[in-house]
Structure 1
Amino acid sequence: MNAFIAELLGTAYIIAFGNGVVANVVLHKTKGNNGGLIAITFGWSMAVFMAVYITAGVSGAHLNSAVTIGLASLGKFDWALVPQYLLAQLLGAMLGQFFVFLLYKDHFNATADGLTQRACFCTDPAIRNPVQNFMTEFLATFIFMLAILFITKANSSLGSLDALPVALVVLAIGLSFGGPTGYAINPARDLGPRIMHFILPMTNKSSSDWGYAWVPIVGPILGALAAGFVYTAIN
């Protein structure tokens, strides 16, 4: 596996398991219907855990466009490699979402509310206020990126459990700050599935809400850059 394949596969894992748990909780006639926020946040954190331990040794397990850009801005990653990482993450997010669609196709079509369908693809604010929504994504990603930068490797490896700290950060952010916007904290996580929502056929399908799409892209990128600035200043 090379770095491109690792980032593609790892991001696909995140979206397949992450949006898979959302679909299981909110779509009509699923076994997990009405599972609630706790189920969703644990699902996303376990998705990140699996993806990180699969890819960390190959690509560094960025799996997040904001992380890639943030690390490059700090000189911790080669800018020349940024385009291929961003492309791999976007394609991986689209691939992971396609698996969710295939597995839950009947449930998507059985769900009368197009907004509920779309929630299984991309993020949507609970209260639409672009400035507040932007600040939520900015600050949540700032916290996420700063935590990643301060996580240090243990003296002795715990094998796959080395991926646990990042997963726990994602869990904590989801439980604490996931309510207002659905905590994208990753441009590829939102953009890839939003593109798939636009492409894929569904009964009762709503618009893909491209007017909101800039928030989970710009907010996380600027949040990661700000975290890098603060990390540099502290150190």
Structure 2
Amino acid sequence: MPSSDIFIGEVVGTAVLVLLGGGVCAAVTFKRSKAFEAGWVAIAFGWGFAVLTGAYIAIGVSGAHLNPAVTIGLAIEGGTEWSDVPLYILSEMIGAMLGATLVWLSYYGQFLDHLTARQSDAAEPAGSATAPKRDEPGPVLGIFSTAPEIRNSWQNLVTEIIATTVLVIAILTQGLNQDGDGLGALGALITALVVVSIGLSLGGPTGYAINPARDLGPRLVHAALPLPNKGSSDWSYAWVPVAGPLIGGALAGGLYNIAFA
């Protein structure tokens, strides 16, 4: 596959994935959004449709990995050349950062309104319930990246490993009943439904990153954007949604070779 196809497909596809996925998180988070408090089901389906859209855009160009964990799983399974892996992952990171920036631009007024309100809250006494703390992540971070409900790094890591293994093994086994030819574009729909299922079933503990680029790229954008009173980017947790999905992707690739190849 030409390097230009990998780069263009993965950048554009991942950017659309993160734009629509981060967009649903923003829509549910901001008070001055028509989807405010739409809930977890809206987020799960929003991310599923985001995967569907990004994958359909990229599948004919780069194969639509859109996720370093998928890239690693495919490389271990043998469907992707190891020499292409760095380009895939770099392209996915660039796309994720671009998508997160587009979310910020799309919701610029809501970001400004929300953070201005937090700035007013900062004038309250230090012990008040609404006063923001610089060293703690604020609600805006959830638009960009994930955070656990119970902060236990090893449990959070295991959750991400399990969820990503399910995702990648579901991708790798597509089309096995079709004489190994794969399902093509139909596979994008199946993958999207798997993502919805993971969100509803396994997303509760950690917010189901299941994609290192989807979490780390937007987290870097959160750290870089000039957003007053945004809180920290929670770097102490940031390794979990990177390491967990990469381990899960590798496990899925190995499992596929043992049980299905």
Fold conserved between structures, TM > 0.5: yes
Whole-angstrom CA distance in 1 between matches of 2:248 and 2:64: 19
Of 134, 145, 150, 2:168 maps to 145
Whole-angstrom CA distance in 1 between matches of 2:255 and 2:84: 24
Structure showing the higher helix proportion among its residues: 1
Whole-angstrom CA distance in 1 between matches of 2:28 and 2:85: 35
* Alignment deviations for residues 165-199 of structure 1 (CA, whole Å, 9 cap, x no partner): 01000010001011111100000000100000000
Residue 3 of structure 1: how far off its partner (Å): 1.7
For the pair 1:66 / 2:91, whether they are aligned, the reply is no
Residue 158 of structure 1: how far off its partner (Å): 9.1
Higher mean C-alpha displacement, 202-211 vs 182-191: 202-211
Of 26, 30, 36, 1:27 maps to 30
Question: Counterpart of 2:59?
Answer: 56
Whole-angstrom CA distance in 1 between matches of 2:74 and 2:201: 25
Of 87, 91, 94, 2:94 maps to 91
Whole-angstrom CA distance in 1 between matches of 2:250 and 2:85: 14
Kept after mapping to 1: 8 A contact 2:165/2:248: yes
Question: Counterpart of 1:229?
Answer: 254
For the pair 1:200 / 2:203, whether they are aligned, the reply is no
How has the CA–CA distance of structure 1 residues 182 and 86 changed in structure 2, closer, same or farther, with 3 Å as cutoff? Answer: same
Kept after mapping to 1: 8 A contact 2:72/2:253: no
Larger radius of gyration: 2
Higher mean C-alpha displacement, 155-164 vs 85-94: 155-164
Residue 221 of structure 1: how far off its partner (Å): 0.5
For the pair 1:109 / 2:115, whether they are aligned, the reply is no
How has the CA–CA distance of structure 1 residues 42 and 202 changed in structure 2, closer, same or farther, with 3 Å as cutoff? Answer: same
Aligned length: 235
For the pair 1:164 / 2:164, whether they are aligned, the reply is no
* Superposition RMSD in Å: 1.9
Question: Counterpart of 1:37?
Answer: 40
Whole-angstrom CA distance in 2 between matches of 1:126 and 1:159: 36
Residue 162 of structure 1: how far off its partner (Å): 4.7
Whole-angstrom CA distance in 2 between matches of 1:199 and 1:158: 40
SS at match of 1:206: coil
Gaps (5+ residues) in structure 1?
A: none
Kept after mapping to 2: 8 A contact 1:108/1:203: no
Q: Percent identity?
A: 50
Residue 84 of structure 1: how far off its partner (Å): 0.8
Residue 161 of structure 1: how far off its partner (Å): 4.6
